[in-house]
Structure 1
């Protein structure tokens, strides 16, 4: 293919307009603050439940702690991904960021499912142990 023909098939440059980027970043910052407040409230609520329910078994506590931790990490990862997309310079970078994000999430979810399965098994075994 000649250089002239190749020029006609280049991928157009992808740019987010400055005003749109600024507005998206402001919205993103508000979403991050709302998420951080949600996590703080969830932790406070979890602490209050623990205080009122001193008899909670260690396995159930471990499961709820893990679930909250996984949710926090997954949402944080999504927020970080969204923020990186706002800073992408072209379509190739957007595609790379998306691929990296999806691969990372698949690994993370597989690890989380495995860990949660093991924790559920431990909690089930603890639940059937006779009380002394």
Structure 2
């Protein structure tokens, strides 16, 4: 049996197992919350006015982005538990932060565009 080469960064198995369990529990709780929120959004969808439709679209987008961002955070957490040295952890963290900042910028622009579109459409329909 080959011995492990010491890396200076080792996570005890018990801590790793506990952390993995915590990540799984948090992800399960989040999934349940998202399911409840999606049901609530679906219930509200029966409204037909322009502003309500725009708000529903905005909420769906925001919920979708929240779900996407949390999924990425769980993916990062899972990957970080598998890292064996500090340099790899720092590289993983930098990559995660860089991609998330880019995604958040794109999401903010998309949500802003959705609000602008809804306001424009609401103004047009009130002019009729």
Return the TM-score normalized by structure 1. 0.84
Deviation per CA, 1:31-75, whole angstroms, max 9, x where unpaired? Answer: 111111111111011111223xx2343322211111111111111
Structure 2: tracts of 5 or more residues without a match: 1-6
Contact 1:50 1:56 in 2 (8 A): no
Larger radius of gyration: 1
2:70 to 55, 72, 75: 75
- State the Cα RMSD in Å: 1.4
Q: How many residue pairs were aligned?
A: 119
Other-structure match for 1:55? 48
Q: Residues of 1 paired with 2:10 and 2:49: CA distance?
A: 53
Other-structure match for 1:91? 86
Structure 1: tracts of 5 or more residues without a match: 1-11
Give structure 1 regions of 4+ aligned residues with deviation exceeding 6 angstroms: none
Return the TM-score normalized by structure 2. 0.86
Contact 2:41 2:56 in 1 (8 A): no
Other-structure match for 2:37? 42
